[in-house]
């Protein structure tokens, strides 16, 4: 079994099944306003993760939970389209000599014009109940190398009251360090609970 799959099934799922899952995630993070978890998985396991999340959603639903899945890729595509930008064109620019410009453009769109945290907040359940609702943030890999998930979680701080889990493609580096896609320099300031 893959370590991330074991972490999902034996460490994360039992918490998400509980009525006080939000409180438990806050306790694990050490912060009263961070009901977040981060599940780290190898980027090449994206499709296996999606299959596993489908099964987990079913099990949580059977346990009386309501699961909302928010695609960060879809949020980014929505923001870019609102600014008249095409994701395929930006991807082409990334491959060419315009990578710094593409990064700067997407970052500006997701931080100033169509803030990613606002797009995520709009997709949260309107009457979210911390005892019933669970949120999965998926497809974070689409943001690489344009936007770091660290910024998103910090901007959502205090605005999310339900258990929320970021599916993080990358790897761990040290006790709190995460390397986005296993390529980016590790960020060591993630405050949410990193499932292990």
pLDDT attached to residue 105: 84
**16/131 Cα distance (integer angstroms):** 9
Q: What is the pLDDT of residues 141-163, one digit of tens each?
A: 999 888 888 889 889 988 899 99
Burial 146-179, CB ≥16 within 10 A → b, else e: bbbbbbbbebbeeebebbbbbbbbbbbeeeebbb
**136/90 Cα distance (integer angstroms):** 26
State the DSSP code for 111.
I
Q: What is the pLDDT of residues 112-134, one digit of tens each?
A: 899 999 999 999 998 999 999 99
Which secondary structure element, helix H or strand E, spans residue 71, and what is its range?
A: strand 66-71
Q: What is the pLDDT of residues 11-40, one digit of tens each?
A: 999 999 999 999 999 999 888 888 999 999
pTM score, whole prediction: 0.93
**89/77 Cα distance (integer angstroms):** 12
Q: Residue 167 — pLDDT band, cuts 50, 70, 90?
A: very high
pLDDT attached to residue 96: 66
pLDDT attached to residue 1: 59
Q: What is the pLDDT of residues 41-94, one digit of tens each?
A: 999 999 999 999 999 999 999 999 999 999 999 999 999 999 888 777 776 766
Block residue for tokens 């309501």 = 66
Are 152 and 120 in contact by the 8 Å Cβ rule? The answer is yes
**61/172 Cα distance (integer angstroms):** 30
């Amino acid at each position: 079994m893959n370590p991330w799959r074991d972490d999902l099934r034996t460490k994360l799922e039992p918490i998400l099944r509980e009525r006080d899952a939000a409180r438990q995630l806050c306790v694990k993070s050490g912060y009263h306003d961070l009901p977040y978890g981060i599940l780290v998985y190898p980027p090449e396991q994206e499709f296996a993760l999606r299959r596993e999340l489908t099964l987990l959603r079913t099990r949580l639903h059977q346990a009386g939970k309501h699961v909302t899945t928010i695609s960060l890729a879809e949020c980014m595509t929505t923001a870019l389209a609102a600014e008249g930008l095409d994701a395929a064109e930006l991807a082409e620019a990334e491959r060419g000599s315009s990578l710094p410009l593409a990064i700067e453009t997407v970052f500006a769109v997701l931080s100033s014009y169509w803030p990613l945290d606002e797009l995520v907040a709009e997709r949260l359940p309107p009457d979210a109940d911390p005892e019933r609702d669970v949120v999965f943030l998926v497809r974070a890999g689409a943001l690489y190398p344009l936007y770091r998930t660290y910024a998103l979680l910090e901007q959502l701080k205090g605005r999310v009251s339900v258990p929320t889990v970021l599916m993080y493609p990358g790897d761990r580096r040290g006790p709190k360090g995460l390397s986005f896609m296993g390529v980016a320099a590790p960020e060591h300031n993630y405050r949410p609970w990193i499932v292990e």
